[in-house]
Structure 1
Amino acid sequence: MAVGATMYTFAVQLADVDRGVYEDLSVRVARHPSETDAFMLTRVMAYCLEYEEGIAFSEGVSATDEPAVLVRDLTGALVAWIEVGAPDAARLHTGSVQAERTRVYTHRDPAKVAAPWAGKRIHRSDEILLHSFDPGFVDAVTAVLERRNTMTVSITERRIYLDLNATSFETDVHTQPAA
Structure 2
Amino acid sequence: MALKATIFKVDLQVADMDRNYYADHALTIARHPSETDERMMVRVLAFALHAHEALAFSKGLSADDEPDLWQKDLTGAIELWIEVGQPDEKRMLKACGRAAQVVVYSYSATSHIWWNQLAGKVERARNLRVVNLPAEATMALAKLAQRTMQVQCTIQDGQIWMSCGEHTVQLDPALLKE
Cα shift at 1:119? 4.1
Determine if contact 1:88/1:116 at 8 Å carries over to the other structure.
no
Q: Name 1:39's counterpart in structure 2.
A: 39
Give the TM-score taking structure 2 as reference length.
Answer: 0.92
Amino acid at match of 2:173: V
Q: Structure 1 residue 101 and structure 2 residue 101: aligned?
A: yes
Q: Name 1:111's counterpart in structure 2.
A: 112
Cα shift at 1:145? 1.4
Secondary structure of 2:115's partner?
helix
CA gap of 1:172–1:118, structure 2 versus 1, over 3 A, is closer
Matches of 2:124 and 2:27, distance apart in 1: 31
Determine if contact 1:129/1:176 at 8 Å carries over to the other structure.
yes
CA displacement 1:102-144 (0-9 Å, x = unmatched): 1001221431231332443x48424421112233111112123
Q: Name 1:175's counterpart in structure 2.
A: 175
- What is the alpha-carbon root mean square deviation over aligned residues? 1.7
Amino acid at match of 1:80: L
CA gap of 1:53–1:175, structure 2 versus 1, over 3 A, is same
How do 1:29-178 residues align onto structure 2 when only pairs under 5 Å count? 29-109=29-109, 110-120=111-121, 122=122, 124-177=124-177
Secondary structure of 2:172's partner?
strand
Matches of 2:113 and 2:123, distance apart in 1: 20
Matches of 2:104 and 2:20, distance apart in 1: 22
Determine if contact 1:96/1:123 at 8 Å carries over to the other structure.
no
Count of equivalent residues: 177
Determine if contact 2:108/2:134 at 8 Å carries over to the other structure.
no
Secondary structure of 2:135's partner?
coil
CA gap of 1:27–1:113, structure 2 versus 1, over 3 A, is farther
Identify unmatched segments of 5+ residues in structure 1: none
Determine if contact 2:100/2:127 at 8 Å carries over to the other structure.
no
Matches of 1:7 and 1:86, distance apart in 2: 24
Identify unmatched segments of 5+ residues in structure 2: none
Matches of 1:34 and 1:134, distance apart in 2: 22
State, as a whole percentage, how many aligned pairs show the same letter.
33
Determine if contact 2:10/2:150 at 8 Å carries over to the other structure.
yes
Q: Name 1:20's counterpart in structure 2.
A: 20
Matches of 1:38 and 1:156, distance apart in 2: 23
